[in-house]
Structure 1
Amino acid sequence: MATADITLLDAWIAREDMFDAFLAYNHAFKEFNRVLRGEEIAATLTLGDVAVMVHSPVEDLVAIANGSDPEPAPTLRMQGDEERPAWMDGIDLTGAVTVATRPIFESGHEPLEVILAAVNGAGPDDLILVEAPFCPTPLRRLLATRGYESCAEELASSHWRCTFRPA
């Protein structure tokens, strides 16, 4: 019986058509299909983590993993901050842990594993910068559950910088 704490990989092993069921439930899964199907990522993320990333009730994902098919969820638009938070004023980005995801995407890979490794290797006061071709809203949601606050800024077309700091 799946719970919110089960890894995505274990849930997937228990229900082979789970990704198809997730996609039928929430079209946001189309954006995550490639990254979530990676065995190393699937082994590190729980259903609770995935629920946060796609902004869906964890109970629904657990129900899907257990063979149910809840009502489809609305797909939410991913966006940056409307206002720059005050903590960003005068922040020194020198020495921040930086992950440039654009080259990773361009090479046909998903950067989540690299980002999570950078987060896990960062010190307790380190800032983390993620340069991305889009606003990384799901990543922001995920890292918020791990104690980070963030600010996403669109620097140019297809160029976002997301700054994370321990809350």
Structure 2
Amino acid sequence: MVEPRSAAALGKEFPYTQKTLCYIEIAADGAVSHGADSGTYERARSGESRLFAVWPGEWASHLFVIDDLDEYARAHGLVHDQERTGLADHEHTTRWELDPSEKKPMGSYITIRVHLDCGCSIRDLDAFAKQIRDQQGWDIATSGGWGGSSTAGTYMRARRKSLTS
């Protein structure tokens, strides 16, 4: 029988948040479930279960044991990771402006340009959306496109009514 490969051996190259990755949790009593959330992490961390992932390839899929739970937690935002997200764990100083390409400035969601005057950079939209929701109440859409540059700001979609000046 072939043993699963080690996710830890790949380090930061393992695609913990890839949408096509399937997590499998095997509890100490043999119960099998799938998916990944904070409960999955806590059970694996406490030894109540083991966590595996199936990484589909072009011609074959590979089974990995998730043997670096700290890296798993950082990738999923369960533990803050400034290197991965570009965001310090502090209150962000922000400015925003309507993106010049926005065609419906009174729509429910609008495209904005965000400037972080605190020196942070946005490398992970999900992490930024969570932090800015907690800090300023902004509702940032995480399912669409985003990007930009440090000088022009980072463009993203936001619920217009959640934005503050």
Calculate the TM-score normalised by the size of structure 2: 0.30
Query: Which protein is richer in strand relative to its size?
Result: 2
Query: Which protein is richer in helix relative to its size?
Result: 1
Higher relative contact order (CA 8 A, sep 6+): 1
* Greater C-alpha Rg: 2
